Each structure stands twice: as C-alpha cells, then as structure tokens.
C-alpha cells in the first residue's frame, strides 16, 4: 500500500505523466478527481480485453458478464471487426453528410435487409436513435395521420429506459433519472408495462406511437406476458398508431433471435438499434422503418455530423454480416439455456427469482442474502464482472462468444456467494 500512496501523491505533481500509472488506487483517484461522478463503478480498473475476458491494471483477469450493457455482444476486440475497422481507419473516417461516402449505402442496404425494412436513418448513440424515432413519429402523426398540431402524443411504458436526453428523461418514471431536470418535454403518457387493457384505454385520436422495449433491460430484464407484443401490434393496427420497438439492448442476437420482437413473430413499424450495432468498437445507432414513415424526414429537418460516417458504416455493416449467419443468435439460445438452468437451481437459496431470455438474465437477490450491489462486489472478488440493475436485481449479459466453461464459471461464482 505504500507504493499506492506514493503513486497517488505523484499523480498530482508535474511529473505524473512520467510515472507508470499502473495501480488501481491511482486510477480510481484520478478518475474521481477529474471526471464527473455520474456513475458509481465497481473498484476495478480495466486495461485490456479479448473475447469474454478482460484484464485489469494489476494483471487480474475477469469474465465480463456486463458486456458493455450488450454493446459487446461479439466480445472484446473481435478480430473480424477490429480488422475491418483498422482497414477503414486508414482509408476514410468522416465526410459529413454534405457528401456521399462509399460505406453508407452498402451498410444502409444490408441493415434494411436485416430488419426487413425499406430504409434506415443512421445516428451515433442509442439516445439519438430514440430521439429520431420520436421526431419521426410526431411528424408522421401530423403529415400522414392528420393529428392536429401540436397535439401528438406518444405512449411509453412504466419502468422504461430509453436514454438520457432531456426529452427522453421527461417520460422516465425513475426519480434518479428525472429529478431537477425540469421543465420536462410534454406529449408523453405512461401505462403499466405488460397491461394491454391500460394501453387500449390510453390510445386516442392524438396517439402517434407506442414506444416500448420488447424486454425491459435496465428495469431488470423484465419480460412481458406471452402474447403482449402481439396485442400491442394489434392495438396499433386498429388505431393507426406506430409501434416503435427500442431494441437497442434487446436486439442483435442477445435474446437468441435477431430481435426480441421475433419471439412473438411481431414486426414493429420502427426499430431503434444501437449498442451492439457498433460491435463495442464505436458508437453506431440507427432507426429502421419503411419509406411511408421515414420519408417524413427531408433535407435539413434532422441530422448529425457523425451519423452515417464511413468508419461507423463499415463497422456496422460487418456487424450485420456477422448476424446474417444466425450463429450468434444460436449461441445466445444455447448458452442462455445453460445459464438459466444453472441459475434456476439457486432459487430459494439466496435467489428469489430468475428471468432469462437468450443469454440475458435478471437475477433477483433475496434481501436476506445481500443487496444487488454487494453481490456485484462479491462477484468481482470471484473474477466475474456484473452490475446491479435496480436494487436487488443483478443483470447478466455475457458476450455471446463466451464458452460453456465461462457460463459454468459464472453460475459457480453465484452459487459460491449463495452458499456463503
Ligand atoms: C442503452 C439504451 C439506450 C440508450 O443508449 P445510449 O447509447 O446510452 O444513448 C436506449 N434504450 C435502451 C433500451 C437502452 O438499453
């Protein structure tokens, strides 16, 4: 620990940059000193990663069971994605949309094919994809459906998570996400997730869209009752309302299918994609829809400097190509069944409930055992990285490149904690 203190002091001197800053305490202090405290990270400083595994600055290895909130579905540094990105880095990275580039067209075509939609609109972060969908829905309501301006409403779900912009937090019901950010953007209604009668009652002639996560990730991997997505689809059809599925976390193979909506054979009018679309290398997001919806966006009415840039498009297109074989969807289904079986054996022994869809699990920890945060800290000590979603729930989303042994190790770590 003496060495730790020395380094920490040194970090605040002019010569700090000359020292090898390779110790956990020094990095934690630097980060806490100079970066705003908008997260509460576990105390581990990561320096490298490959596949499902990461290594910290002190050389310890961990199985990454958060996987960048599913941005790392293909694991760290997937060789195919890294190679494609390197190649594109050396050729062309940014043009702006003032000009065409030779990567966006092929990416747009391939992503449209993967989603079964006619066109896509490329953005960067997930929140920007959601913002785009909201703007599209409002404009569609006025120009196509004929809702009197400015009365369009969008119905969202209790417990939702769609990102952090001022408009998006305006319809969050999580006090941590909303407090002191008023005034909030109007035009949203919330209904209980999974409740078709409440949704039906909320729809009226001003409704532009229903916006939902087909599985609520941040809320703790909440899976709606069977038939719910089909019911939403039917209500939207009956009232000329857009069904907009936020598949930013649930999509792109995580649940064992390309999209979580596929589990009910439901096709929404609008998909929002992000996270794994950039392969964990780069932020890439998109909205996918048919022309009668997306064509309400015309030159000058929406955009982004980086959206659709050649590097993003090259990486995104490689991700789409990797999803076309179905290999990762199959891995998620097979490994997910193994994870589910292992975790279900712990119900009643420190675990209250387990919800899984593909390689994605919400594990409710018995309050008598520990909090979600404490379990995350104990998993860290056992070489597994995971994070509590909400209070008592730990969310598990290992990279889809994990091995069966990795899944067994994860279950074993959980079992060890449950049995004390
Ligand atoms: C992560 C997430 C977002 C926001 O994505 P960012 O890239 O963090 O802006 C939106 N919706 C869902 C369902 C998400 O999981």
Domain limit, last residue, from 262, 296, 323: 323
Does 371 reside within a domain?
yes
CATH of the domain at 331: 3.90.1150.10
Domain harbouring 262, CATH code? 3.40.640.10
Angle between helices 2-11 and 24-34 (to 10 degrees): 30
Question: For 32-73, what is each residue's pLDDT tens digit?
Answer: 999 999 999 999 999 999 999 999 999 999 999 999 999 999
Query: Hey, whose CA ends up nearest to atom 6 of ligand 1?
Result: 126
**Residue 372 beta carbon below 6 angstroms from any ligand 1 atom:** no
Nearest CA among 299, 243, 297, 298 for reference residue 270: 243
Q: Do 300 and 354 share a domain, yes or no?
A: no
- Asked whether residue 219 is domain-assigned, the answer is yes
Pocket test for ligand 1, best of 71, 159, 163, 278 (most atoms within 8 A of CB): 163
Look at residue 254 and tell me if it is in a domain.
Answer: yes
Q: pLDDT at position 19, please?
A: 53
Average pLDDT over residues 215-234: 98
Number of separate domains in the chain: 2
Same domain as 299, residue 169: yes
In this structure, the answer to whether residues 370 and 398 fall within a common structural domain is yes
- Ligand 1 atom at minimal distance to the Cα of residue 283: 7
- 69 CB near ligand 1 (under 6 Å): yes
Quick check: is 145 in a domain? yes
Other beta carbons less than 10 A from residue 331's beta carbon: 20
Is 163 found in the same domain as 103?
Answer: yes
- How far apart are alpha carbons 252 and 275 in whole angstroms? 9
User: Given this model, what pLDDT does residue 3 score?
Assistant: 40
As a whole number of angstroms, the distance between CA 228 and CA 226 comes to 6
Catalytic residue among 56, 275, 364, 414: 275
Same domain, 197 and 235: yes
Please identify, by atom number, the ligand 1 atom nearest to the C-alpha of residue 285.
7
Residue at which a domain ends, from 272, 305, 323? 323
pLDDT in tens, 325-338: 999 999 999 999 99
Tell me, yes or no, whether 180 lies in a domain: yes
Q: Which domain holds residue 401?
A: 327-418
Contact 108, 342 (CB under 8 A): no
Instruction: From 282, 303, 323, give the residue that closes a domain.
Output: 323
- State pLDDT tens for residues 343-401: 999 999 999 999 999 999 999 999 999 999 999 999 999 999 999 997 899 999 999 99
């Amino acid at each position: 620990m003496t060495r730790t203190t020395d380094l920490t002091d040194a970090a605040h001197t002019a010569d700090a940059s000359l020292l090898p800053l390779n110790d956990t305490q020094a990095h934690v202090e630097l980060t806490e000193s100079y970066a705003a405290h908008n997260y509460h990270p576990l105390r581990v400083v990561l320096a490298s990663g490959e596949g499902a595994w990461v290594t910290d600055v002190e050389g310890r290895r961990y199985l990454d069971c958060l996987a960048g909130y599913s941005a790392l579905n293909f694991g760290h540094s997937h060789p195919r994605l890294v190679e494609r990105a390197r190649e594109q880095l050396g050729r062309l990275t940014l043009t702006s949309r003032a000009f065409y580039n030779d990567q966006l067209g092929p990416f747009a075509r391939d992503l449209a094919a993967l989603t079964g939609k006619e066109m896509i609109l490329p953005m960067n972060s997930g929140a920007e994809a959601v913002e785009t969908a909201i703007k599209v829905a409002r404009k569609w309501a006025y120009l196509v459906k004929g809702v009197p301006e400015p009365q369009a409403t969008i119905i969202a779900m209790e417990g939702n998570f769609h990102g952090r912009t001022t408009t998006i937090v305006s319809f969050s019901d999580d006090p941590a996400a909303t407090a002191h950010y008023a005034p909030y953007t109007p035009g949203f209604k919330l209904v209980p997730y999974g409740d078709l009668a409440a949704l039906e009652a909320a729809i009226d002639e001003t409704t532009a869209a229903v916006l939902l996560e087909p599985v609520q990730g941040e809320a703790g991997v909440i899976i709606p009752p069977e038939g719910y997505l089909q019911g939403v689809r039917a209500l939207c059809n009956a009232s000329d309302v857009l069904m907009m599925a936020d598949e930013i976390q649930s999509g792109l193979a995580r649940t064992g299918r390309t999209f979580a909506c596929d589990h009910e054979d439901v096709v929404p009018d609008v998909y929002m994609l992000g996270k794994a679309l950039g392969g964990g290398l780069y932020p890439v997001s998109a909205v996918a829809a048919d022309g009668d919806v997306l064509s309400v966006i015309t030159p000058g009415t929406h955009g982004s400097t980086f959206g659709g840039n050649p590097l993003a498009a090259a990486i995104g297109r490689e991700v789409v190509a990797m999803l076309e074989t179905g290999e990762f969807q199959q891995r998620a289904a097979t490994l997910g069944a193994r994870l589910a079986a292992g975790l279900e054996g712990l119900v009643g022994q420190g675990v209250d409930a387990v919800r899984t869809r593909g390689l994605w699990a919400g594990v409710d920890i018995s309050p008598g055992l520990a909090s979600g945060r404490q379990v995350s800290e104990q998993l860290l000590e056992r070489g597994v990285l995971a994070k509590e979603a909400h209070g008592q729930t730990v969310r598990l989303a290992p990279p889809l490149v994990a091995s069966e042994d990795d899944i067994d190790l994860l279950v074993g770590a959980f079992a060890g904690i449950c049995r004390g």
